[in-house]
Amino acid sequence: MAAMVTSADPRPGYDDPSQHLADWSELFARMVDRMVQLKARAPRASILTEHDRARLIRDNPELADLDKGVDVHGKDIMQRARFARRLGVPLPLEILRERFALAPIDIDILGSLATIERGTAFNPYTVGKNEPLQTDVAFLVALLSNSDAVLPGEVRLRFSADAPLIAHGLVELATGTGWAVDPPLVYKRVRIADRVLDFIEGAQEPPPSVLGAAGRFIGQPMPASDVLLAEPALIDQVARALARPDQLVEIVGPVGVGRKSVVGAAARALGRPMLTVDLTEVPVDARALVAVLKPLIREAHLQDAVLVLENAHEYGDSDGQSWIFQTLCDLMRRVRTPMALVVERSPKWVTRAGRVAMRFTVDFPTAEVQRRLWVRHLPPGLKLGPDTSLDALVKRYSATGSGIKEACEELGRLDVVHQRGGIATEKDIIDVVRTRLAHRLSALASVVRTTLEWSDVILPDEVLAPVFEFLNYAAHRAKIFKDWGFDRKLPYGRGLSALFSGPPGTGKTMICSLLAKELGLELYRIDLSQVVNKYIGETEKNLGRVFDEAARGQVMLLFDEADSLFAKRTEVKSSHDRYANLEVNYLLQRMESHEGVVVMTTNAETAIDPAFRRRIRFRIRFPTPDEAQRLQLWQGMMPSEAQVAPNVDLRAIAQKYPLAGGNIMNALVRAATAAQADGGAIQQHHLQRAAELEYAEMGFLA
C-alpha cells in the first residue's frame, strides 16, 4: 500500500500532526470496508489467501475500485508526510519510522493498530455479521496485503521475533482465546504497545510508569560550561565518541566525580536528551531483565536519547551471574541510539556487547576544582567564618563533586550554623566531612582516636627515631616529589607505608593514633572480618572500596594483625591457593598505587609476604619494655586523680612482672576496680593480684 513520493510533488504537508492520524483512520475505515466485503463474498469464513483475494477483486469491479481507492489514499498520506517533514513538522509515525528503522509496511501496521485502539474508524465488536473483530496476525495479513505491492508473507514476517516491531516492543503478541498451548503465529492476538500509542497521539515525555525505579529521563542535561573538570576537553572527546553509531562509550571513575555529568554535557552538545538506567534496580533474572530493560531501551529510541547504564560494573559480574550475559548483550545489540556505561571498572561482559568499546576516565577533582565546587554549592545565605580556609580544607579532605554538594546541603541544615546567623566555621565543615566519611567506611572500618600525647610515650630511642623519620617524610614528600622531580624517578610506590611489629601491648596502635593526630588525619582500623569474603573476587572489591575511600578522604589506614591478610603466597596446589594468591597480588598493586598513609601491625613479621616487606617504606620493631621502662609505664599510666596508698611499691611489681604497656594498663584498671570494691585506696596487694592475673592470661606463671 505504501509508496514512494517524488520531490516534485506539489502537495502540502501536515500543518497539524494530529491530522496525520486522522487520515490514517479514514484509510483504515476504507481498508476494513474492503476486507469485510471480501470476507462476505469468500467461499469460506477463514483467512483470505492471496489467490482468494486476487480472484474476488478480479470478479467484482466494485471491489477493484475500492482497492484502488485505498491505494491512492495511502499514497496521498505518504506524500503529505514527506512534505511535512521538509517543513519541520514532527509526525509521530515518521519519527517512529526513522528512529526504529521501520519499513513502510511497519508504518501501515502501526497506523492500523493505532486506529483500532482509538476506535475512531469503527466499532470493533460489530463488524460484518455482528461477530467480534479478531485483531490477530491473520486479520492484519488480510487487511494489509495487496496483490500489487505487499504480499501476505511479507506482512507475516513483520511479526517475527527479530523484526523491528517485535524486537523493540512497539507491537505486542499474545495467545488468542481457545488455545491451550502456543498457537501458530497467524492466530496470535496483536496490539500496539500503550506507550507507543500515547507517543503517536502526542505524549512526548516518558511517564513514570515506563521509567519505573531504574530509569530517569533528563530532557535538558547540564551544559559543558557548568561541569567543573580538571580536563574540560574530555566532554568534547566523549561527544565525538557518542556520535559514532557503533561505539560503546565507557566512562570510568570513582562514584561522585561527575561521570554522568560528562555524558550529559556530551549528549547536550549532540542535541540529545539523556535516559539513565540504574542497573542496581534491575533484577538478576533473564525474564525480569527483559521486562525492565526493553521498555527503557524503547523509550531511549522514542526520545532519540543517549542511553546511559549506571553501575554496569556491578551487574552480572558477581559470582554465579555470568548466565545473564547473553540476555543482557542481546538487548544491547538492538540499541540504535548512542550508549554509554558509567562504571568504576570495566564489566566482564562489555566485550560481548556487539559494539566497539571506547574508554574515558574521569579523574578525581583537583584541589582547585574542589575549591570551586565548595564555592558553587555553599547555600546562598551561608558564610564562612574568618578563620575558615577552603584551600586548607581541600588539602586535608579530598571529596568528589557530589560529596561536596551533599556536605554543603547538610551545612545549610545545621542548627548551630543558623544560630550564628548563617556563619559556618572550619570545625563545622570538618565535622560534616568526617561524618560522611565515617558513614562510607562504617561497614569495613572503625575510627580510632586517642586522648594521649607524645609525652605519654615511653619507648626506646631506636623505636622513636624511625617514628619521627616517618613524620618528616609525611611533611616533606610533596616538595621532594613535585619540586625536586623525584616523581619522574619513582612513578609508583610514593605512598607512606609502615609495618609495626612486636608483641601485643607494646604501643603499636597507640603510636598509629598519635601519628594520625600529628598529621591531621582520621585513623581507620580495617575490620578484616568484614573485608575478607569467602566468595571469589569479593575480598578484592572490599579492599578496593577501602583504598578508594582512603584516597578520597585523606585518611590513614590501620591494618591490625596484618599477617592474616598479607600472608606469604603459597605454592598453587588447588584453586583455593590460586585465588588466595590473587588477593595478595591485588594488595601489592593497590599498596604500590596508593599515595596515602597505611600502617600495618603484626605480632609475626616473618609470616608476611616478603614482597610486601620490600615495598613498605618504614619497618619499626616494638620490643617488650625492660624493667626501667616498665616502671615508667606503671608510673606514667597511673592517673593523678587516682587514690593510691603511700606505701605502694611500683618498682617491685615492674621488676617481678615483665608486662607490656597494654597489659600494664589493664592491670591498673583491675587494681582500681578491686580497690573501689574494698572501699579504699589502691593498695599493694591490689596491684600485686592484678599484675599476677594479667601475667597469667599471657600464658605465664608468676
pLDDT > 60? residue 10: no
d(CA 573, CA 576): 8
Radius of gyration of the chain, Cα coordinates, nearest whole angstrom:
37
DSSP annotation of 243 reads T
Query: In this predicted model, what pLDDT tens digit does every residue of 434-467 receive, in sequence order?
Result: 777 766 677 778 888 888 888 888 888 888 999 9
d(CA 342, CA 311): 6
Terminal-residue alpha carbon distance, the chain: 105
Question: In order of start, what are the domains of the chain with their CATH numbers?
Answer: 17-200 (no CATH), 208-361 (3.40.50.300), 380-440 (1.10.8), 454-621 (3.40.50.300), 627-697 (1.10.8.60)
* CA count, 13 A, side-chain hemisphere, 221: 29
pLDDT > 80? residue 323: no
d(CA 511, CA 456): 10
Helix (H) or strand (E) holding 63: helix 61-86
- Going by their DSSP bridges, the two strands 523-526 and 445-448 should be labelled as antiparallel
Most confident of 33-37, 84-88, 165-169: 165-169
Whether residue 447 contacts residue 436, with contact meaning beta carbons closer than 8 Å, is answered with: no
Contacts of 209 (CB under 8 A, 6+ apart): none
User: What does residue 461 show for φ and ψ, rounded to 5 degrees?
Assistant: -60, -35
Confidence of residue 154 (pLDDT cuts 50, 70, 90): confident
What is this structure's pTM?
0.70
Percent of the chain with pLDDT over 70: 76
Name the 3-class secondary structure at 334.
Answer: coil
**Where is pLDDT greater, at 329 or 75?**
329
Of 298, 305, 302, which Cα lies nearest the Cα of 276? Answer: 305
What is the full DSSP assignment across 198-218? HHHTT--SPPHHHHTTTEEEE
Whether residue 223 contacts residue 265, with contact meaning beta carbons closer than 8 Å, is answered with: yes
d(CA 368, CA 378): 16
From residue 661, how far is each of 247, 524, 624, 694 by CA, in Å? 63, 22, 9, 12
Q: What pLDDT, on a 0 to 100 scale, did the predictor assign at position 271? A: 94
**Where is pLDDT greater, at 210 or 536?**
210
d(CA 340, CA 90): 27
pLDDT > 50? residue 570: no
Residue spans of beta strands (DSSP E) within 369-481:
383-384, 423-424, 445-448
From residue 448, how far is each of 511, 554, 620 by CA, in Å? 12, 15, 20
Q: What angle do CA 240, 245, 249 make, to 5 degrees?
A: 55
pLDDT > 50? residue 513: yes
Confidence of residue 560 (pLDDT cuts 50, 70, 90): confident
Most confident of 161-170, 393-402, 479-488, 597-606: 161-170
Q: What angle do CA 622, 625, 628 make, to 5 degrees?
A: 145
Q: What pLDDT, on a 0 to 100 scale, did the predictor assign at position 340? A: 94
Q: What pLDDT, on a 0 to 100 scale, did the predictor assign at position 122? A: 42
| Dihedral sign computed on CA atoms, order 232, 233, 237, 239 | positive
